[in-house]
Amino acid sequence: MKIIKNENSFTITGFKKTRPYDYRHYTRNDTDGPRTYNVDGNKVPSVTTILSGTQSEEKKQALDKWRNRIGHQEAQRITTQAATRGTEMHYVLEQYMNGVGYLNLRKSGHLPRMMAHTIVNNLGDLSEVYGTEVSLAYEDRWAGSADLICRYKDRPTIGDFKQSNKPKRKEWIEDYFYQIGAYSLAHKKQYGSIEQGVVLICTKDLYFQEFFMDKNMLKKYEDLWLKKVDDYFKINPV
């Protein structure tokens, strides 16, 4: 994988862009209650909505404790800043993966661009890109958007890009594994086999982390995800 810098833009080389599947697109609704996707005329809960709706009391209490410790205004500032940085980093990566290159002369775009570059510089195992920001749905049970469907370490893979304020431990990011399990099940249902997953993280200090999910770990989180979906619909019956 190589980043090529032109006068005012960047592109990357070292992988193929292929289209083995004709991916559909589902519109997202964030304005009317919890996030949903419009799937064949039905409002289907998003993966993140299900994760939020089944969050453990322990996790809720930990989040409340953090907000109370630093103050709600500061907590909101940090959350908003991280979300904006993550959105811009994803945009840069999407442009790269689509072979378009990226141009951003805004000062606010410098750090997200450097974070994206850090991830790209660690993608030596990426050989093919099937799609980016791919809409996926599992009937009327859940829907979402996968950052990357690709061939990674020579196998069909769901890839997820994440930004972070600090390095992560595996036990802190279980929700990321649930997400990949959800996307994998939906992809298998709609299109074709997924054999593994990978979470690719860059911190604001440009520290890179890869959390790889082999087929056994992926199957584990697919099964755990199905249980979580059942729990969600028990709480929120249709």
Residue 53 corresponds to which tokens in the numbers above? 């709706």
28-29 sheet: strands from edge to edge? 28-29, 36-39, 42-45
Question: In this model, does residue 3 exceed pLDDT 80?
Answer: no
The helix (H) or strand (E) run that includes residue 66 is: helix 57-70
Residue 105 has pLDDT above 50, yes or no: no
Is the pTM higher than 0.95? Answer: no
pLDDT tens-digit series, residues 186-207: 999 999 999 999 999 999 999 9
Q: Is the model's pLDDT at 14 over the cut of 80?
A: no
Neighbouring residues of 166: CB distance < 8 A, sequence distance ≥ 6: 203, 205
Residue-level pLDDT at 123: 92
- The count of residues in the chain is 238
- What are the sequence ranges of the domains in the chain? 16-235
Pairing of strands 142-152, 126-138: antiparallel
pLDDT band at 97 (very low <50, low <70, confident <90, very high): confident
Fold topology of 16-235? Lambda Exonuclease; Chain A (3.90.320)
Are 160 and 176 contacting, i.e. CB atoms less than 8 angstroms apart?
A: yes
